[in-house]
A and B are shown apart, each in its own frame.
Chain A
Amino acid sequence: MRAERLLAPLPGLLFLALLLLVLEWAVGEGLIRRALMPPPSAIWEVLRDLLLSGDVLPPLAATLRLVLIGFALGSAAGVALGTAMGWWGAAYRLLEPLVEMLRPIPKAALVPPLMLFLGIGDMMKITSVALAVTFPVLVNTLQGVRGVDRVLLDSARTHGWGTGRALRHVVLPAALPFILAGMRTSLGLALIIAVLSEMLTGQGGLGFLILDMQRSFLIRQMYAWLVILALVGLALNALFAWAEARALHWQQRQ
């Protein structure tokens, strides 16, 4: 059983390794121009130097900071607004048109106008990330709060629980699977918007570096940073999946 679980990702990893070998070979044979796509081994050398020298840390920290602060703020706003809209009909009727107006806008398009108001500093970038994060969390929270079983709510009422306690101890835990699903979607968006806002402002972090390396024809460096970005995304997802499984341990029924 344990061996099976360890072996399960093996075919996928082997396929990935095969692709890298084919790439290496194709670049070596001149089928792909070296100037556009250096061989994986050359990228690996740059990557190794970046990791060993510690040069990777400052840009990585800058981007992670944007992602995490923006994600936290956006999630908090999404849960608060979604809960209010799901619980109080008046809040829903007040906010629903506004939310439906703003929700379909690709949040990347909001970065330029936000730059006008907030400049090109962290304030603007964090706001952009938070905005992108808010909506999926809001919509999922709304759905989760509305879907809470009537019987559960009446149980709280017959035991004399007030609205505040019921929201905190019954409604939010019951809606948590929905809320976390929204947050999982938002985490990917947070990384996208963080990188994009770094590119558009030409300042700090992984996004800026990738663009900067491309413009400076440091193609191997560009790919190395791209790999780092991919690993960041992978790590954030894995971390979130772990936290989600812990928070929803009670769901392991069946």
Chain B
Amino acid sequence: METLILELDAVGKSFPARGGPPTLAMDRVSLSVREGEFLSILGPSGCGKSTLLQIAAGLMEPSAGAVRVAGRAVKGPPPEAVYVFQQYGRSLLPWRSVRDNVAFAVEHRPGMSRSRARAVADAQLAAVALTGFGDHFPWQLSGGMQQRVALARALAAEPRILLMDEPFSAVDALTRLDLHRLMLELWEKRGLTVVLVTHDVEEAVALSDRVALLTKRPSTIARVVETGLPRPRDAVEVRETARFLELRHELLDALLTRGGHAG
């Protein structure tokens, strides 16, 4: 039987509204993520995708429902999960070198010396093709490189599940494809589970095993699509297959014509 690494059970979230009843942002979202899969949560802008991911990461409390990571109820950030922020530039410590930013993920662990934390950091920087940039400061790097630093930091923590919030949305198209390839390579090599939040249909289809389609507010999951695309795959070449185009058409259609509404 497959292990479920992340389970969302009828998760709801409402935010207090000024002079009125709370606004319901998310309603009864249920989703199970299998260990080792690459799942994307696709939805229109402002549908609360990030909120959902932050709840899964234990960074935000749900108003209703239950969240389990590796079978345990989530109360605060679970050690199995690491969250990668959309605002990579703001998630790095500007006063630390690139190497020390990556070491940030492990240096607080028991028995971890400073030199070992740095060795771990250098190894992860090599994995994201940033060897030689350890002594730079984050602001000396391009946006795509900064996001790779954030990725190296997340990987250094050796999480079982990576929760990624539109991690490739703020870089140019070419850099994005580059990062897609890197992401698939890392995912295949390390047996990670990835949950990726995005509004980019092509990104979701090209990378994922399954795509969960989220509706507009109050958002809920309209359906979950198995992509059935072959593995290992190349993030660029896969875009030329008939199955990719079919899925792209289907999901775009769902997002556009039905406005992402359920049913």
By the criterion CB–CB under 8 Å, are B108 and A161 in contact? yes
A157 lies within 8 A of B77 (CB): yes
B105 within 8 A of A: yes
In the complex, A57 has a CB within 8 A of chain B: no
Please state if B85 and A155 are interface contacts (CB–CB under 8 Å).
Answer: yes
A159 touches B105 (CB 8 A): yes
B90 x A152 contact (CB < 8 A): yes
When the two chains form their complex, are residues A152 and B93 in contact, meaning their CB atoms are under 8 A apart?
yes
Of residues 82 through 105 on chain B, the ones whose CB sits less than 8 Å from some CB of chain A are: 82-83, 85, 87, 90-96, 104-105
Determine whether the beta carbon of A151 is less than 8 Å from that of B157.
no
Which of B58, B91, B95 has the most chain A CB atoms inside 10 A of its CB?
B95
With A154-B83, A250-B95 as given contacts, are A159 and B90 in contact (CB-CB < 8 Å)?
Answer: no
Contact mask for chain A residues 126-151; partner B; CB cutoff 8 A; 1 contact, 0 none:
00000000000000000000000101
CB of A165, distance to nearest CB on chain B (Å)? 6
Which of these, A155, A161, A165, A251, contacts B91 with CB under 8 Å?
A155
Interface flag for A106 (CB, 8 Å):
no
Q: Is the interface of B mostly helix, strand, loop or mixed?
A: loop
- Inter-chain contacts of A161 with B (CB < 8 A): 108
B59 CB-CB contact with A under 8 Å: yes
Once the chains bind, are B77 and A152 in contact (CB under 8 Å)?
no
CB distance from A148 to the nearest CB of B (A): 11
Do B77 and A250 have beta carbons less than 8 Å apart? Answer: no
**Listed residue (A157, A158, A161, A251) with the most chain B CB atoms within 10 angstroms of its CB:** A158
Q: Contact at A158–B90, with CB atoms within 8 Å?
A: no
Task: Tell me whether A253 is interfacial, beta carbon within 8 Å.
Answer: yes
Secondary structure of the A contact surface, majority rule: helix
**Bound complex: CA of A250 vs CA of B96, how far in Å?**
8
A89 interface residue per 8 A CB criterion: no
Q: Cβ of B139: which chain A residues have Cβ within 8 Å of it? A: 253
The interface residues of chain A lying within 8 Å CB-to-CB of B92 are: 155
Q: Is the CB of B77 within 8 A of A149?
A: no
A154-B85, A158-B83, A250-B137 in contact; A165/B108 too (CB < 8 A)? yes
Interface residues on B, range: 20 to 34
Specify the chain B residue showing the minimal Cβ separation from A166. Answer: B108
Question: Within residues 106 to 155 of chain B, which ones have a CB less than 8 A from any CB in chain A?
Answer: 108, 137, 139, 153
Closest CB of chain A to B203's CB: distance in Å?
Answer: 22
In the complex the two chains form, what is the Cα distance from A72 to B93 in whole Å? Answer: 27
Distance of A146 from chain B, by nearest CB (Å): 16
Contact, CB under 8 Å: A151 / B77: no
Query: Cβ of B22 < 8 Å from any Cβ of A?
Result: no
CB neighbours of A160 from chain B (8 A): 77, 79, 108, 157
B interface residue numbers (CB < 8 A to A): 54, 57-59, 76-77, 79, 81-83, 85, 87, 90-96, 104-105, 108, 137, 139, 153, 157
27 contacts between A and B (CB under 8 A): A149-B90, A151-B85, A151-B87, A151-B90, A154-B54, A154-B83, A154-B91, A155-B83, A155-B91, A157-B59, A157-B77, A158-B58, A158-B59, A158-B81, A158-B82, A158-B83, A159-B108, A159-B157, A160-B77, A160-B79, A160-B108, A161-B108, A162-B108, A173-B95, A250-B94, A253-B94, A253-B139
Would you list the 7 A-B pairs with minimal beta carbon distance, nearest first?
A158-B83, A250-B95, A151-B90, A155-B91, A253-B139, A158-B77, A151-B91
Given contacts A152-B93, A160-B108, A169-B104, 7 further A-B contacts (CB under 8 A): A151-B87, A152-B90, A152-B91, A155-B85, A160-B157, A161-B108, A251-B94
Residues of A at the B interface (CB closer than 8 Å) are 149, 151-152, 154-155, 157-162, 165, 169-170, 173-174, 176, 250-251, 253
